[in-house]
Amino acid sequence: MRIIARLDVKPPNVVKPIHFDGLKKVGKPQDLAKKYYEDGADEIVYIDIVSSLYRRDILFDLAKDVSKDIFTPFAVGGGVRTIEHTQKLIHNGADKVILNTNAIIDPSIIKGIVSVFGSQAVTIHIQAKKWDSWYECYTDCGRNRSDKHVIEWAKEVEDFGAGEIILSVIDNDGRQRGFDLELSNKLIESVNIPVVIGSGAGSLDDILEVAKLNPSGIAIASLLHYNVLTIEEIKQHLINNGFHVHI
């Protein structure tokens, strides 16, 4: 199981939204990426949370600069919508791209990128919003509805060749009150590609609960940004409870 540090970036800062809104600056992405790498993060996820919203390209030079001191996988997203964007990112420190809004607008982009770079190079970020009886995918950093059901969309992106899904849950994100275990479990059971669960880590127990669902990875942001826990402490707790993690 991978422990993944997630950086939500509103250039030039890492910010931490609550419910995808109400931004708080927490540091520079270069510094935090390096720190989490040195602390033993298995992967760094970098998402430019405003590029889709502003309809601008991701800032390639910033992503490259952030990758400079890290020697662990680096996933980059935010406004990525073409093979050229993907090439530029992979040539410059990224290992895979993360897509949400642009994949929902035009799912064929998934197939296009996979045909050139392979499945392992495409991660789909699902931003789920809970309604009474279903979960809906949101776009543009939790701002706009898509009418797509989370589980149906997950199966669709698997068919298109995506190699991984990272889940965020709008109602849980940034609140540090636990993951949405019900949706997480359903998602993990529904697809046969690796699933990373995010949104809601508030304590070691929360992390342990989600680990029991056997996700491929757990994405953590606030707990690390606010120095509540270190990656090392999280991994040690998982090891003490019989889970396999890399230290």
The interface mask with other proteins, positions 12-51, x = CB under 8 A, is -------------------------x----x---------
> Using CB under 8 A, which of 13, 30, 120, 144 touches other proteins?
120
Q: Does 164 bind other proteins (CB under 8 A)?
A: yes
> Using CB under 8 A, which of 154, 157, 193, 211 touches other proteins?
193
* Residues of this chain, 209-228, that bind other proteins according to CB under 8 A: 216-217
Comparing CB distances to other proteins, the nearer of 4 and 49 is 4
> Using CB under 8 A, which of 51, 119, 199, 222 touches other proteins?
119
* Residues of this chain, 86-115, that bind other proteins according to CB under 8 A: 87, 90-96, 114-115
| Stretch of 21-29, 131-139, 192-200, 221-229 contacting other proteins, by CB under 8 A | 192-200
CB of 143 to other proteins, least distance (A): 29
Question: Which among 144, 168, 167, 186 is positioned nearest to 52, based on CA atoms?
Answer: 144
Length of the chain (residues): 247
Question: Which among 41, 44, 49, 40 is positioned nearest to 15, based on CA atoms?
Answer: 49
Question: Which among 140, 139, 80, 146 is positioned nearest to 113, based on CA atoms?
Answer: 80
> In sequence order, which residues have a C-beta less than 8 Å from that of residue 6 and are 6 or more positions away?
45, 47, 198, 219, 220, 221
The interface mask with other proteins, positions 60-89, x = CB under 8 A, is ----x--xx--xxxx--------x---x--
Strands 135-139 and 144-149: antiparallel
Point out which residues bind other proteins (CB under 8 A).
1-2, 37, 42, 64, 67-68, 71-74, 83, 87, 90-96, 114-121, 163-164, 191-195, 216-217, 246
